[in-house]
Each structure stands twice: as structure tokens, then as C-alpha cells.
Amino acid sequence: MASDLLRPKSPLRPRLGHPSRLTDGAVEVSLLMLGHAVVFFVTLFHDEIIAELVEEGWLLARLAERYEIVLGMALFLCWSALLLRLVAVLRRISEERAGR
């Protein structure tokens, strides 16, 4: 049941979509999972991305390997930040449910 329906004193807000999908941080978890998917697919093709940028003249060819390493490290940091945020959200959701 939607959390706003548990408190009858508060006015009901009209919401789009299925109410249970919009509660308990479901939207935030969905966006974090989407972020993980984007980072994963960019990681799969990071060397091709750098090769295209070198070919187009955006990056120097002699530094291409360094750019690949830097991009890989940046993607790793993005993945780590997304994962830490996901763990924090899931922990908060579980604590809220345990407190009910």
C-alpha cells in the first residue's frame, strides 16, 4: 500500500503510475540501476571511444593510452559512487520497513 494511504489525515496526492512503484525509494533505486547500466556499457567500449576521439582529432594520438586509463579510472569511480549510494538507499529502505 502506498505510504500516503497509511496516513488518512494527510490529503491524497494524485500520482502517475502504480503507487507502490513510487514509494520507498523505488524511483531512486531505479535511477541508480540505470546509472550502473550506463557506466557498464561505457566501460565496455571505453577504448573504442578514445580511438574515435583520437581519429576525430579531439585527443592526441601519442597520449591515447593515458586517456584510456584516465577514462577507465573515472568510470570506476563513478561505479563506486553509484554502488555506495545504492547501498545507502537500500539500507535506509530496510531500516524504514523494520521500523514500521
- Other Cβ atoms less than 10 A from the Cβ of 59: the count is 17
- Asked whether the beta carbons of 35 and 82 are under 8 A apart, the reply is yes
End-to-end CA distance of the chain: 13
pLDDT, residue 97, reads: 80
pLDDT, residue 94, reads: 87
- Other Cβ atoms less than 10 A from the Cβ of 23: the count is 17
- Give which of 92, 83, 99 is closest to 26, Cα–Cα: 92
- Give which of 21, 24, 6, 7 is closest to 98, Cα–Cα: 24
Residues 66, 43: Cα–Cα separation, whole Å: 15
Q: What is the mean pLDDT of each run of 10 residues along the chain (100 residues)?
A: 53 60 76 96 96 96 96 97 95 84
